[in-house]
Structure 1
Amino acid sequence: MSPDRAVLERAIERGEQEGGSVEFKERLTKDLHATEGRFESLAAQLRHRVLSGDGEATYVVGVTDDGSLAGIGPETFSESMDVLSLLAEEAGAHIDDVETWGVDGDTATKGASGTDGIVGVATVREGAVMSDDEHIVVGTAGHVDHGKSTLVGSLVTGDADDGEGGTRSFLDVQPHEVERGLSADLSYGVYGFDDDGPVRMDNPHRKSDRARVVEEADRLVSFVDTVGHEPWLRTTIRGLVGQKLDYGLLTVAADDGPTKTTREHLGILLATDLPTMVAITKADLVDEERLREVEREVERLLREVGKTPLRVERHGVDAAMEEISETVVPVLTTSAVTMDGLGQLDELFKRLPKTAGSDRAGEGFTMYVDRTYNVTGVGAVASGTIRSGTVEAGDELLIGPMQDGTFREVEVRSIEMHYHRVDEAQAGRIVGIALKGIAEVDIDRGMVLVPREADPEPVREFEAEVMVLNHPTRIGEGYEPVVHIETVSEAAAFYPEGGQLLPGDSGETRVRFKFHPYYVEEGQRFVFREGRSKGVGTVTDVRPVE
């Protein structure tokens, strides 16, 4: 018996008991179980199960009242989870986790489609899902060995580092459930706040401990920790450009100072207009004179790119809160060993408002796909950050463009945020959306999900205003960098107006994707890179495929 299957067997063995926390359901349907009267009764039942389990209940779906495996089809299971989510919300709880298993025809009835059925175990926990406004996402960047992962590890645990990067290991195992659906080549961490102060993890390697933070905190701070090595700059760009972050956190080690990679990461953060702060790390390794020297280097670096540094130690957290913007960059001095400066970071993260998506919540729904996966009994799931608008279970959407430029009709089976099944989600949220009408193999990173009535146009070429940040010679016609726009990473040919662009130049250029079209809109920011050549740009006009 596999460990996963053991979860199901243990739940069935415990069985339904009066005053127990386990409930068996063969299925839950909107027509029968969400009707007036029945709905209230079932919500009260769920509340009773949750209270009996000290805040946690287990619902086994796809089994009969005596615990025999019945199995239900994928669509019926999805509907059952939707109804369970509504019941949980009514009872002041939420679905925290869902595990599913297929059962063969010898032990289960066939689903509605004629396929073998599935059973699932849903863990329901007390407390409502946190509102979008109380969850900020911070992208960390900086040169390798400049202490960004160690700093985040000390923030999420509250533990001082041992001087050997011990707290860094907390980010090197699995993506946290809050950020579920992103590639494992980025690392993640999370902590939160309640009325008494920070809510931290005792052991981030335990899923239950990470889940505890999500449940107990009134406000969450998630970190997307990027890669510091130069060869993986493409991954860093995707982490900073494609995730709809609220803030950037750039680290500079006091014993090393700003490097070429520091400048590149800063350029990427600022190219996306992301409000950013700088943490000077490893202050315990240098004397006061060296620390002041690095502080001056950081301030010069920021002024060189047109930004105003604001020393938090000098002006205070309140000033940093009021002034942080596209032009003002707070600078703090920290040490994960002595914990100096981490209290100020705590105060900033506790109070900073959410920024990603807040200005686009009222627009039509769009989400660029960052990763795909397949879930037993659910099917294809596309994950990413909602760029604008709101999505609900049951929405009819289009996904694409495909290789030939077409968009395919799909339907939202269900939506998941940090393992919580929800009925809807809005701009700025990282979600996994289960889709009906498409297989996972047909979904690629860089595709977009939009409403069917949006009538999207595939774009092969667009006009852009670009700035060349670095290039050994000049950019001429046919220059082919990789363009990073939203979650798209695609080779494209540049055709500059006037025939060329020199390092430091700004100008207009036509950009043509080399292999196939994408969904591109005016005003989108992008980064382009090829070898040592790097630049930023803004889409000014699009040319739909004819």
Structure 2
Amino acid sequence: MSPNRAVLEDAIDRGEEEGGNVEFKERLTRDTHLQDGRRASLAAQLRHRVLSGDGQATYVLGVTDDGGIAGVSPETFSETMDVLSLLADEADVYIDDVQTWGVEDGIVGVAQLKEGSVFDGDDKHIVVGTAGHVDHGKSTLVGSLVTGQPDDGEGGTRSYLDVRPHEVERGLSADLSYGVYGFDDDGPIRMNDPTRKSDRAQVVEAADRLVSFVDTVGHEPWLRTTIRGLVGQKLDYGLLTVAADDGPTRTTREHLGVLLATELPTIVAITKTDLVDESRLAEVERSIERLLRDADRTPLLIRRHGIQAAINEIDSSVVPIVRTSAVTMDGIDTLDSLFRQLPKTTDETGEFRMYIDRTYSVTGVGAVASGTIKRGEVEAGDKLLVGPFSDGSFKEVEVRSIEMHYHRVDRAKAGRIVGIALKGIREEEIERGMVLLPRDADPQPVREFEADVMVLNHPTKIDSGYEPVVHLETISEASAIYPDDGHLLPGDTGTATLRFKFRPYVVEEGQRFVFREGQSKGVGTVTSLHSS
């Protein structure tokens, strides 16, 4: 709910005028406003309002024809937004933003509409997961990338990725942060202020190519959250930061291990190069090269081999290294060139599937499930299944609307980070690790699966019944491991049966996962499923 009621009051003060761009609607219903010729008439009215406003219109909802505050129920407001979205499609406009206020008799809202079609996206939208030790400049570097603004030396641009008050209002958690910038024929499209929803939406609308960042947590005690960010999102690339004044740390090794274990093509950015001299930079580069070679990866220094070599060679075994400074902006152009040209790596084909990472509730809209679409695409109005619940069942829901970086879209494809408003379920019923599937899917959730596993670190041996936390997609669940050979030692590769401790989940053959407990860590690949 927006605290700025001035937006509502200003729209009502302007009022409905012939030739104006403000329209009052108490409510819109499918039965009344989409029947016979009414739909075409209302779409023409909407088009007229937008043209009268030089490409923009304001619809005040929940008010009478003379601007009196009436208010409608949340259910009626949601239906009103559904109908308005359909009218917008027909009028070749889109809903850019919606704000709501609670009144005595329900809800009133202001919808801003703009001329043109919503962003449909293309295969060039890449998603980058960031990692790195706390204070190694990870969020600061991303902040400078998405804004084009140098840091003040105190981590000022980092604040652009912190959770802001308006995000707290929407129920967004403060663990993973998201940033976005893009490119068109003229170069980078950046945000002046990423904390403004309109700035992010403008980038999504204007860019021919988008780069979304999933910015993880650098503190070692929160490694579990970092693993969720790297494993639970549909990432194309990893970006690992190492501060020049500190060098690789144990957390650096942990994060690199997760990135490489999931076979994610990764770039290493040496940050804070403005704080050290050339000899120290060369020393840190050598340390990173040794670290990569110890992990059977080939380091590629971009300053020596060039940007095109990095683009051509980067994969799960070749890791480019770039020097950067958010203060002097050194290396920003190099990263721009990489992100502008790097190909998308994830497969977008197949039946729609999205593992849910976060949930929140929006007044007048209801439950919203957020995550990265794993494959396929989804459209507003689609009928989906959500689950599994603790008993293995699923519930049918309908897609009310889709939002991508605060920009309302009609449809979204695999790889997009989206919030999907769902009709037919309460927010408190949805949990992280659940999945959204087409209504005609036949999901078979499981408690047990077979996997090929590798133990990366463990103080002794892993015996049958050992219970780490398994991170698979957005699932984070305590699970028991039963090695086929009875036990596994550090460095061992073998087969094992894994069993979720509390509930079933949707799991597929070929999915990669990380298991961790304390300092123990391993990786695995699902090879077969056991029916529940």
* Structure 2: distance between partners of 1:484 and 1:235: 10
* Structure 2: distance between partners of 1:426 and 1:217: 16
User: Cα deviations across residues 245-296 of structure 1 (Å, max 9, x unaligned)?
Assistant: 2221111112222221111111111222222111111222222222122212
Alignment of 1:112-127 (within 5 A): 117-127=106-116
Alignment of 1:350-429 (within 5 A): 350-356=340-346, 359-361=347-349, 363-429=350-416
* Structure 1: distance between partners of 2:172 and 2:524: 25
Deviation at 1:364, TM superposition (A): 1.6
Q: Which residue is 2:18 aligned to?
A: 18
Deviation at 1:385, TM superposition (A): 1.5
Deviation at 1:90, TM superposition (A): 4.8
8 Å contact from structure 1 (residues 388, 428) kept in 2:
yes
8 Å contact from structure 2 (residues 119, 409) kept in 1:
no
User: Per the alignment, do residues 313 and 482 of structure 1 end up closer, same or farther by CA in structure 2, a change over 3 Å counting?
Assistant: same
8 Å contact from structure 2 (residues 357, 474) kept in 1:
yes
Q: Which residue is 2:213 aligned to?
A: 223
Aligned-residue CA RMSD (Å): 2.6
User: Per the alignment, do residues 176 and 475 of structure 1 end up closer, same or farther by CA in structure 2, a change over 3 Å counting?
Assistant: farther
Alignment of 1:116-195 (within 5 A): 117-133=106-122, 134-174=124-164, 183-195=173-185
User: Cα deviations across residues 168-212 of structure 1 (Å, max 9, x unaligned)?
Assistant: 2222243999xx986321222222223322222223334444444
Q: Which residue is 2:94 aligned to?
A: 94
* Structure 2: distance between partners of 1:176 and 1:192: 23
* Structure 2: distance between partners of 1:127 and 1:348: 30
Question: Which moved further from structure 2: 487-496 or 272-281?
Answer: 272-281
Deviation at 1:36, TM superposition (A): 8.4
Amino acid aligned to 1:94: Y
8 Å contact from structure 1 (residues 278, 331) kept in 2:
yes
Deviation at 1:76, TM superposition (A): 4.5
Task: Please say if 1:251 is aligned against 2:238.
Answer: no
User: Cα deviations across residues 321-361 of structure 1 (Å, max 9, x unaligned)?
Assistant: 222222222211111222111111111122223334xx233
Deviation at 1:507, TM superposition (A): 0.6
Question: Which moved further from structure 2: 307-316 or 42-51?
Answer: 42-51
Deviation at 1:38, TM superposition (A): 5.7
Amino acid aligned to 1:417: M
* Structure 1: distance between partners of 2:406 and 2:150: 30
User: Per the alignment, do residues 175 and 320 of structure 1 end up closer, same or farther by CA in structure 2, a change over 3 Å counting?
Assistant: farther
TM-score, L = length of structure 2 = 0.92
Task: Please say if 1:236 is aligned against 2:226.
Answer: yes
User: Per the alignment, do residues 324 and 127 of structure 1 end up closer, same or farther by CA in structure 2, a change over 3 Å counting?
Assistant: farther
Q: Which residue is 1:108 aligned to?
A: none
8 Å contact from structure 1 (residues 127, 215) kept in 2:
no
Question: Which moved further from structure 2: 121-130 or 235-244?
Answer: 121-130
* Structure 1: distance between partners of 2:2 and 2:236: 40
Alignment of 1:307-322 (within 5 A): 307-322=297-312
Q: Which residue is 1:289 aligned to?
A: 279
Question: Which moved further from structure 2: 189-198 or 471-480?
Answer: 189-198
* Structure 1: distance between partners of 2:386 and 2:199: 36
* Structure 2: distance between partners of 1:437 and 1:89: 23
* Structure 2: distance between partners of 1:216 and 1:405: 42
8 Å contact from structure 2 (residues 200, 406) kept in 1:
no
Q: Which of these residues, 504, 524, 545, is aligned with residue 511 of structure 2? A: 524
Query: Which aligned segments of 4 or more residues in structure 1 are displaced greater than 6 angstroms?
Result: none
Alignment of 1:358-507 (within 5 A): 359-361=347-349, 363-507=350-494
* Structure 2: distance between partners of 1:492 and 1:249: 29
Q: Which runs of 5+ in 1 are unaligned?
A: 106-116
Identity %: 76
TM-score, L = length of structure 1 = 0.89
